[in-house]
Structure 1
């Protein structure tokens, strides 16, 4: 058992032989700062195997003692707070993700964007700010990116320069390596709130009104097929998670994602995730294959985290074959654009399928489209909810259920507005009546 200082009862991550070696206060390294020199001396004396199994708190305590000892014996002019910071950084490097660790622990941060060792940006409450952190060099950025990928069983390097994965806390990670990333490795992290956000919380945030929340709640309980549309970072996954909380606990739900990030609370959930190709370029499993397989798993509902390709056709097939109440997300700017996107994605895999046949599938499969938008004040709001009514000729007709109307802004720059509705009875009213929710739907429109 290796020991250091007075804590002889605790196994340490310190190489005892190296500690006993003298520290020269006049080491000829004029280009190095005292902090850099001290960091190097500490790393020479740490046993990486022992460090990797120690709890982070205990490791930091031991490193602080070692840093203090080496600084004192080497007569390095470093204040106590600087020594503590060096110990913390080293602990993060050994058992965490280096300079990113404080950002990952900050619940107010929703996105972390690393564009290089000296260019790190964060998103807080919808606004992007430059983070006050630095990496030592580009190699450290690359090492942390590889560490994140390895933790999820993925790999990223110059021969395989793209990876999507998730951290243990559910955060979604994208890493791009050179030669694709010209200025060095880039890391993008989408964090998800540890708090379970439901419609009540979203009403409190101003993302929707009580009437809009009630309509969406009825849509989920009546097992309508819902497409959630919006731009990157608009809150599609948050809306999907809120809708999923209304699924009955006796239903079997199958989720399909590129990188698992959903937070379903039901006890009967099967989580499926795509798989990248191996080193030989084989073994890749796409979302389309997972959706086809899900149909053989006796699901009550199928939830696709994001439809982005030819799997759109299989999703439509699922919605049209008795899997009512299915939900998916898609990137689009308006509810009408969402239909065009679905049509285009179906054609990516089935170019020979007539346009009318595709639109017939869409019109019969999708009940409502919920459009989410991140507005210029940083707030995410439901911008539009539309019903997919029917196919008339070659055109899919749509009816707006709710639309957000801009009403200026307050003194703090926060956008003001309200949700308006024409109060029309939807084409799927008979389905609402079947679930005993027809009158509740109309009351929600009237109350708006």
Structure 2
């Protein structure tokens, strides 16, 4: 088992922090290097580079976990204890031989990361859900809730910049569906991209946004900046959590409502998790066609129940959700992840049944290695949206 990278000397870290604070500059690599030189200690060029990186990881990053987070294919880093660290590189969880020392050291690491994210983590507030300065999602639990001392879960946010062609080449969607997907975007269909955690919802959404005509203005609302579509006119807005005093919060609901006043041609919500779904449905019902959003769901047929649950947080009754969603949404694109492979598994049409319930009719399904299957609603989908 590999021991964690030794922590930078605490006194040296205090000197670096004080120097950067006095200079009033951002705590980036250049500032850390300058601060290290200003301490009067002599470092070789290689040692200075390594120490600057380690110091920045300690001051603004994940300390001994930073090397794992910086690995290009890592999506999740999970710490169950000082000798129990796991990573996900897109093909399932794998244990890594990293020794973090003692339970007390893991707890101290969790507390420091929470502080870097502007949150509190202690006996009085033993759980935290926050974002690191680089956008990494942090969820941590300490004693007495976690008997092991501390449990840490980190989700790496990597900006997605794929195209439909590259996704097809990578086995994420069948070539036969490219024409329909292009038609959905150019035809200004309102799209809902669904799937479980880590199925590639953001990746597909970014690829679809790259197909939006260049003369359209796209307003993207996210909990943290993750979408990087290849488009000429994108305005990105990111939510902000409250600080340790509980003030300064800007919610997704606030941002979606505000985006309507910013002259959008399309409104995109990176992920609907709560009451903001009401604002999204209202926006799509007020002339803002071509909108897109992602929602967690296990299957196409579960989307109506998921929308009802989210909208209930905004006080919307079931009938109102069905009416608004059926009028606002056109197509559901559902992704799955099997054997480490993410793929577009189903396409469905949003509709309202005779009894008033919201439904999603399956139009097509696909599994990697097989030909796509046209289901009952495919003819309607293909006839209306095919490019």
**TM-score when scaled to structure 1?**
0.70
Query: Which of the numbers 218, 221, 224 marks the counterpart of 2:189?
Result: 224
> 8 Å contact 1:164–1:259 — kept in the other structure?
no
1:386 matches 2:348: yes
Query: Which of the numbers 353, 367, 370 marks the counterpart of 1:417?
Result: 370
> Cα RMSD (Å) of the superposition?
3.6
SS in 2 for 1:425: helix
Query: Which of the numbers 91, 94, 107 marks the counterpart of 2:72?
Result: 107
> 8 Å contact 1:63–1:87 — kept in the other structure?
no
Distance in 2, Cα, partners of 1:350 & 1:102: 44
Counterpart of 1:135?
100
Q: Note the 1:334-353 alignment, pairs <5 A.
A: 334-350=299-315, 353=317
SS in 1 for 2:99: coil
Counterpart of 1:49?
15
In structure 2, runs of 5+ residues without a counterpart are: 21-30
Distance in 2, Cα, partners of 1:95 & 1:394: 52
Q: 1:313 to 1:87 in 2, by over 3 A?
A: closer
Distance in 1, Cα, partners of 2:67 & 2:356: 54
Q: 1:254 to 1:182 in 2, by over 3 A?
A: farther
Question: Which of structure 1's runs of 4+ aligned residues deviate more than 6 A?
Answer: 63-66, 85-91
> 8 Å contact 1:166–1:260 — kept in the other structure?
no
Counterpart of 2:322?
359
**TM-score when scaled to structure 2?**
0.80
If asked which structure has higher relative contact order (CA below 8 Å, sep 6+), I would say: 2
Q: Note the 1:26-425 alignment, pairs <5 A.
A: 43=9, 46=12, 48-50=14-16, 53-55=31-33, 62=43, 93=58, 97-152=62-117, 154-158=118-122, 159-160=124-125, 161-168=127-134, 170-193=135-158, 196-350=161-315, 353=317, 355-375=318-338, 377-405=339-367, 416-422=369-375, 424-425=378-379
Larger radius of gyration: 1
Answer with 337-346 or 287-296: which moved more.
287-296
> 8 Å contact 1:99–1:134 — kept in the other structure?
no
Q: What is the deviation of 1:103?
A: 1.2
Q: What is the deviation of 1:182?
A: 4.0
SS in 1 for 2:309: helix
> 8 Å contact 1:363–1:391 — kept in the other structure?
no
SS in 2 for 1:109: coil
Distance in 1, Cα, partners of 2:81 & 2:46: 32
